Amino acid sequence: MLPTDPNMAWPPAGAQPLDMATWRAWYSGNPAQLQANAAPPANRVARAFFWRRSRESLGAPRPKPIHVPLAAEIAQSSADLLFGDPPDLRITDNEKASERLDEIAQASGLGNTLLEAAELCAALSGVYLRVSWDTEIAGHPFLTAVNADHAAPEFTYGWLSAVTFWRELPAKDRGVWRHLERHEPGAILHGLYAGDATHLGKARELADHEATAGLEPVVTLPDGVPARLLVWYVPNVKPDRIEPTSPQGRADIQGAEDLLDGLDETYSSWVRDIRIGKARILVPHEALENPGKRGGGKWFDADREVFTELDGLDPKDMSLTVTEFQIRAADHAATAVELLERITSAAGYSPQTFGLRIEGRAESGTALRIRESKTAKTVARKQRYWAPAVEAACESLLAVDRALFGSGVEVSRPQLVWPEEQQTPQELAGTLELLRRAEAISIETAVRLAQPDLDEKELTAEVARIREESGTVVPSPLQEGLLA
């Protein structure tokens, strides 16, 4: 049921991982959020953080902090590694269901939804996949992603049993208006509340706000749709190192927040060196010129080529001093690279995934895979969390499509097939050569492996050409002119 206590704290205590605000701040890169939340709540030396010090300056002017959006880049790379290629959802025993699912996926942009959801998942420890529909905007159901920082979940034995999503609406007064959407097995409940920044407030009629005026308080799932949740939670990686018993998982950057802070401090120091290291000229007061206007300040023309000596002054007193500080570029660069490697490694990725430590390398695909094995294992780990949720969500898409949109298609559960890692042409050629030497593969099979896009007619012609060019075609003794 929806909450009824107007004094209830919102979001509810314990609804989200302890470090959620910190992960959100690093993902957003917003300076105000970083100054307030760069350090995790349990960090006892939070005041030592660079971003915290930039906020708590003692009245002295400080240089503008430079933020390196590495946390966002890690989340984006995680999504690209998982869903950079459109997902392959296969239904082998139900051709009509397979075709209809492909239609829904193309029309609703399912591939883009999963790509966006995967980025949020890596950034905020998890994401919710929700089956939605609106007959006025689409002739089919569609999948939507809900941020983990706008959800209050309930788990039973580690499985999602209910969840309440919320969004803040444009306020009609000085308070905070929220729309709550609660998902329970077989039903979806909607509520409207007017409170403040930390409390839910009083329940209002849905018609009191234009954003919720068209919603029903209770939406019962239609006949033909199993009476279960139409929401699935996908954890990024488990366990949460701060709360190991939590079923919500952890963000990729958990434990690396102080390293991210150090990276920003390193780049800020580097840019400060560049700023204060600019060449400057110190000139004596007598060398300054006055434009002759009352109240006009004196100035020095640095572009002037000819100067005349002033009477009565020693020429030594007119000397100009050039000041130029050293820019410690090499030191800063080395420190930044070390921090980058530490952060990406802590997130579960090989440095080569982010273009680090590849100078002068021209490695084979096998060597590259060995060097990127850590990334491959992390991706495989995440795939095991994603596959069951995506398959179940797509099955429910077909069920809702049949019940509400009259598709008439029998519902089947698809299988999410991840793309296999492809061999480079050099690796494939070497493999085929070894198999041919061992007489363990036919010419036809070798051609199938080397050119999988050929149809049967093209394949037969290619095999015939190879045999003819290699001289392996043996003429039949029955051909005319061969028998004496």
* Residue 362: pLDDT over 50: no
Tokens linked to 376: 């491959």
Check whether residue 403 and residue 430 sit in a common domain: no
Residue 476 lies in a domain: no
Name the CA radius of gyration of the chain, rounded: 33
* Residue 414: pLDDT over 90: yes
Report d(CA 199, CA 208) in Å as an integer: 19
Check whether residue 126 and residue 7 sit in a common domain: yes
Residue recorded with tokens 């060449």: 279
Give 249-279 pLDDT, tens digit per residue: 999 999 999 999 999 999 998 888 887 777 6
pLDDT band at 159 (very low <50, low <70, confident <90, very high): very high
Check whether residue 251 and residue 303 sit in a common domain: no
Q: How many domains does the structure of the chain reveal? A: 3
Q: Residues of 306-333 as b/e, b for ≥16 C-beta within 10 angstroms?
A: eeeeeeeeeeeeeeeeeeeeebeeeebe
Check whether residue 411 and residue 450 sit in a common domain: no
Residue 429 lies in a domain: yes
Check whether residue 220 and residue 168 sit in a common domain: yes
Report d(CA 459, CA 445) in Å as an integer: 10
Report d(CA 203, CA 10) in Å as an integer: 13
Residue 35 lies in a domain: no
Residue 46 lies in a domain: no
Of the candidate ranges 308-322, 357-371, 398-412, the one whose mean pLDDT is the lowest: 357-371
Residue 482 lies in a domain: no
Report d(CA 245, CA 382) in Å as an integer: 19
Q: How many residues does the chain have?
A: 484
Please answer whether residues 191 and 2 qualify as being in contact, where contact means their C-beta atoms are separated by less than 8 angstroms.
yes
Give 374-389 pLDDT, tens digit per residue: 899 999 999 999 999 9
pLDDT of residue 117: 97
pTM listed for this prediction: 0.80
Check whether residue 243 and residue 391 sit in a common domain: yes
Q: Residues of 244-266 as b/e, b for ≥16 C-beta within 10 angstroms?
A: eebbbbbbbbbbbbbbbbbbbbb
Average pLDDT score, the chain: 85
Domain range for 76: 1-29+67-256+347-418
Q: Over pLDDT 90: what percentage of the chain?
A: 56
* Residue 9: pLDDT over 70: yes
* Residue 321: pLDDT over 70: no
Residue recorded with tokens 């590259």: 368
Report d(CA 5, CA 466) in Å as an integer: 79
22-26, 56-60, 170-174, 431-435: which is most confident = 22-26
**Which candidate, 97, 80, 13, places its Cα nearest to that of 353?**
80
Please compute the mean of the pLDDT values over residues 124-138 and round it to a whole number.
94
Give 440-472 pLDDT, tens digit per residue: 788 888 888 777 778 888 888 888 888 877 766
Check whether residue 1 and residue 108 sit in a common domain: yes
Give 212-237 pLDDT, tens digit per residue: 998 999 999 988 888 899 999 999 99
Tokens linked to 441: 């593969």
Rounded alpha-carbon distances, angstroms, from residue 363 to 76, 352, 374, 379, 427: 26, 12, 17, 22, 12
pLDDT band at 290 (very low <50, low <70, confident <90, very high): low
Check whether residue 404 and residue 449 sit in a common domain: no
Check whether residue 296 and residue 413 sit in a common domain: no
pLDDT of residue 100: 95
Residue 47 lies in a domain: no
Domain boundary among 400, 418, 436: 418
Check whether residue 189 and residue 304 sit in a common domain: no
pLDDT of residue 367: 47
Check whether residue 173 and residue 212 sit in a common domain: yes
**Helices marked H in 224-297:** 257-276
Q: Over pLDDT 70: what percentage of the chain?
A: 80
Please compute the mean of the pLDDT values over residues 59-86 and round it to a whole number.
87
* Residue 360: pLDDT over 50: no
Check whether residue 296 and residue 209 sit in a common domain: no
pLDDT of residue 469: 78
Residue 340 lies in a domain: no
Residue 269 lies in a domain: no
pLDDT of residue 43: 77
